[in-house]
Amino acid sequence: MEKGYEMAIEIKATGKAVPPQRVSNDDLAVRVDTSDEWIRSHTGIGARHIAADDTAGSDLAAEAAFNTLSMAAEGDDIPEKTIEEILPTIDLIVLGTTSPDYYGCPSTACVVQSKLGAKNAAALDINAACSSFIYGIETAAGMLSINEKRRRALIIGTEVLSRIVDWNDRSLCVLFGDGAGAVLVEKTRTEGRRGLLRTVLGADGTGAEHLIIRRGGGRSPIKDGETVKSHPHVEMNGQAVYNFAVKAVTETIEELLRLEGITIDDVSRIVPHQANARIVQAAAKRLDISEEKFFLNIEEYANTSAASIPIALDELNRKGEIRRGDIIMTVGFGAGLTYGGNLIVW
C-alpha cells in the first residue's frame, strides 16, 4: 500500500431486475380476500412484481448482474469498457436468497456464475434472509481484504418469494414480491475514507420461530404422498417480527452513528429493508429523524427480502439521488432473526 493511501471496498456500479408482470393490490384482491385500502394502510404496499413460471432466482440475479456490469463498463471508474472484459476480473460472487433455485445444492451463486460466464469467480450463497445483502457486503469485503489477489466481487440479492408464500394466507401473501439487485465492489487504494466504513451485524436465534419456512428441511421433511398444501411456505408471527424490527432498526442506526462518531445530519440517505412502511415510520419517530431521510420504494415492489436494499440502491443511483462522497446507511432485519447495517461513502 502506497504511503498516504488506504485500502477501501468501493461500490462501482449497481443494477436490478424485476419481472415484467406487475400485480397491483386491486389485481390481488380479485383472488385474495383483501383490498387496496387495507394493504396500503397496513404496509404501504401498492403493487408487487411476480416472476413467470419459467423464471428462477438465478435468472433475475444474472439479469441484475449484467445490468450492473453494463453500468460499470459505461462509467469512468474502471478501465475495462465491455462486459466481456470485466467478467474475467470478477473474483467472487456472494449471493443472498431465501428462495434458491435448488434445495441444498448447487448454490444459486454457482448457477449465476455459469449464466454470467464469470469463470474466475468463487461463488457462494448466504442466507440471512432479508438481512442477506447487509451480511453479503461484509462477507465480500472480508474475502477481498484477506487475499491480495482478489479485487472485485458481485454482491447479489435475488428472490422469487411468490413460490414460497401461501396464497390463501391473506395477511401474508400481500407482503411479498420477486426481484433481484446487485452491486459491483472493488478493492481500491484511496486518499481519505471511501467505500465501506463499517458494519453492524447481529442475530437473535431465540426468535427463529417467528419467521420461518418450516417444511422441506431436515427438521420437517416432505414425505412421499403429501399434497401440495404441505409445500414449503413462509410463516410469520407478525407482531413479534414488527416489534423486533423497530427495535433492530433503531438500535442499528444509533450504533452505526456512535461507532463512526457522526450524527444523522452527516448521512445523506438511509436505505432500509423494504418490509413495511410502518416499521420505518415507527423507527423514525423513536429516533426523531425525518421520514424523508429514508428511501422507500415498497409501494412498487413490496418486500423482496434479500433483493430489497440493492434494488433501492440502484434506483437511487440511477436517479442521481446519491452522489460520490455521500454517506449512505443501509439497515435491515430478517428471519433468523437477523439484523444489521452498513455505513458507506458512495
Specify whether 147 is catalytic. no
pLDDT band at 190 (very low <50, low <70, confident <90, very high): confident
Answer yes or no: is 246 within a domain: yes
Q: What is the pLDDT of residue 126?
A: 97
For residue 218, what pLDDT band results from cuts at 50, 70 and 90?
confident
Q: Is residue 275 scored above 80 in pLDDT? A: yes
Is 63 within a domain?
A: yes
Catalytic annotation, pick one of 49, 110, 273, 342: 273
Options 25, 276, 303, 342, the catalytic residue:
303
The total number of structural domains in the chain stands at: 2
Q: What is the dihedral of CA 13, 58, 99, 315, to 10 degrees?
A: 30
Nearest by Cα to 160 from 63, 233, 53, 51: 51
Q: Which residue has the cell 444509533?
A: 254
Q: Are strands 47-49 and 22-24 parallel, antiparallel or unpaired?
A: antiparallel
Residues 205, 186: one domain?
no
C-beta of residue 77 within 8 angstroms of C-beta of residue 29: no
Give mean pLDDT, residues 173-196.
Answer: 92
Give which of 146, 106, 152 is closest to 125, Cα–Cα: 106
State the CATH number of the domain containing residue 220: 3.40.47.10
Burial of residue 83 (number of CB atoms within 10 Å: 0-12, 13-18, 19+): middle
Task: Report whether the peptide linkage leading into residue 106 is cis, meaning its omega lies within 30 degrees of zero.
Answer: yes
| 177 and 281 belong to one structural domain | no
Read off the pTM: 0.94
* Cα(127)–Cα(98) distance, integer angstroms: 6
Answer whether residue 141 is part of any domain.
Answer: yes
Q: Is residue 170 domain-shared with residue 219, that is, in the same domain? A: no
The reply to whether 146 and 262 lie within a common domain is no
pLDDT of residue 220: 75
Catalytic, 303? Answer yes
Same domain, 228 and 300: yes
Asked which of 173, 192, 211 is the last residue of a domain, the reply is 192
1 is a domain residue: no
In this predicted structure, what is the pLDDT of residue 1? 42
Q: Give the bridge partners for 159, in sequence order.
A: 179
- Active-site option among 25, 130, 173, 317: 130
Residues 160 and 214 in one domain: no
Q: Within this chain, do residues 215 and 315 fall inside the same structural domain, yes or no?
A: yes
The residue from 142, 170, 192 where one domain ends is 192
Regarding whether 280 and 143 lie in a shared domain, the answer is no
Q: Is residue 223 assigned to a domain?
A: yes
Dump pLDDT digits (tens) for 57-99: 999 999 999 999 999 999 888 999 999 999 999 999 999 999 9
C-alpha 220 chain-centroid distance: 27
Q: Which amino acid is it at 12? A: K
φ, ψ for residue 275, nearest 5 deg: -105, -45
- Report pLDDT digits (tens) over 113-140: 999 999 999 999 999 999 999 999 999 9
Looking at the structure, do residues 151 and 221 belong to the same domain, yes or no? no
Supply the range of the domain harboring residue 216: 196-345
> What is the percent of the chain with per-residue pLDDT over 90, rounded to a whole number?
83
| In a shared domain, residues 154 and 108 | yes
Alpha helices of 148-272 — where are they, by DSSP H? 238-260
How far is 168 from 32, CA to CA, in rounded Å?
Answer: 7
Q: Are residues 161 and 175 in the same domain?
A: yes
Q: Phi/psi zone of residue 297: left (φ > 0), alpha (ψ -120 to 50 degrees), beta?
A: alpha
Annotation says 105 is catalytic: no
